Amino acid sequence: MPRTKRVALTFDDGPAESTTTIVEILEAKEAPATFFVVGRRARRLPDVVRRVAGSAYAEVGNHTWSHADLVTLPEEEVRHEITRASDLLRDLCGAPVTAFRPPRGHHDRVVRDIAAQAGLDVILFSLNPKDWANQDADAVVETILGQARDGDVVVLHDTLVATAAAVGRIIDGLRERGFVIVPHRELTGDLAPGTWSDGATSGAVRAARYARRQPQRLRAHASRLARSAGLRPGAITD
């Protein structure tokens, strides 16, 4: 029997109006997900955060207070961004949050140390369909279903209406392709303080993805060379 393929869904940058819609879909389909919320948005929409925290299928995580790029900030501001969000979320959720995702996935030793001191695991992602780029539900579904590999942690944005419209089809499509949707901790496990995870098999996933894209990269490189040599676009083909 083939080994079960597992994938985790995460949603960043909320809470937003569409967050509740997504939680309802997760519940109807009995699929878990984690929502990495921005503190100052949570302060404006506390009921949405409570709705997420109260769901059996959703976890609230910390995505900083103001969505700052932490690696550009002095240490004290990094600490403030992380702990201010954790304090508010603990109050709203009734329990400490334990998962943290730095904005843009940018982290360094300072960020990781402060996250560890705040009791947070740093959870990155391995599959990014860039749902913010086109905000096209069909394209998001197609990208995820075409690229998902065992062990992937998928990043989406619950702030986007198009993403909310895609979630049901993403879940159904992944399941049709043999994936089980699991909480990210089933892939990332229990982390030691100061370490981080971007998906249990992300090294292998990244290598496979890189290899698959090599022919496209080489074609693009060849046509750039052709253009710079004054040849017609398309003069060099495979």
Number of DSSP helices (H) and strands (E) in the chain, helices first: 10, 8
Stretch that binds Zn ion, among 96-104, 107-115, 131-139, 214-222 (CB under 5 A): 96-104
For the bound state, the minimum distance from the C-beta of residue 14 to Zn ion, rounded and expressed in Å, comes to 9
Of 6 and 14, CB closest to Zn ion: 14
- The question of whether 12 is a catalytic residue gets the answer yes
For the bound state, the minimum distance from the C-beta of residue 105 to Zn ion, rounded and expressed in Å, comes to 9
For the bound state, the minimum distance from the C-beta of residue 16 to Zn ion, rounded and expressed in Å, comes to 12
Q: Residue with CB nearest Zn ion?
A: 12
State how far the Cα of 234 lies from the Cα of 98, in Å rounded to an integer. Answer: 52
User: Which stretches of the chain are DSSP H helices?
Assistant: 17-29, 39-44, 46-53, 75-93, 109-117, 131-134, 137-147, 161-176, 184-188, 202-228
Of 6 and 163, CB closest to Zn ion: 163
Take residue 133 and report the two structure tokens written for it. 């780029």
Peptide bond preceding 15 in cis form (omega within 30 of 0)? yes
Out of 157, 158, 184, 198, which one is annotated catalytic? 157
First-residue to last-residue Cα distance in the chain: 39
- The question of whether 221 is a catalytic residue gets the answer no
13 binds Zn ion (CB under 5 A): yes
152 binds Zn ion (CB under 5 A): no
State how far the Cα of 161 lies from the Cα of 64, in Å rounded to an integer. Answer: 22
12 binds Zn ion (CB under 5 A): yes
59 binds Zn ion (CB under 5 A): no
Q: Which residues are catalytic?
A: 12, 157
Contacting residues toward Zn ion, per CB under 5 A: 12-13, 103
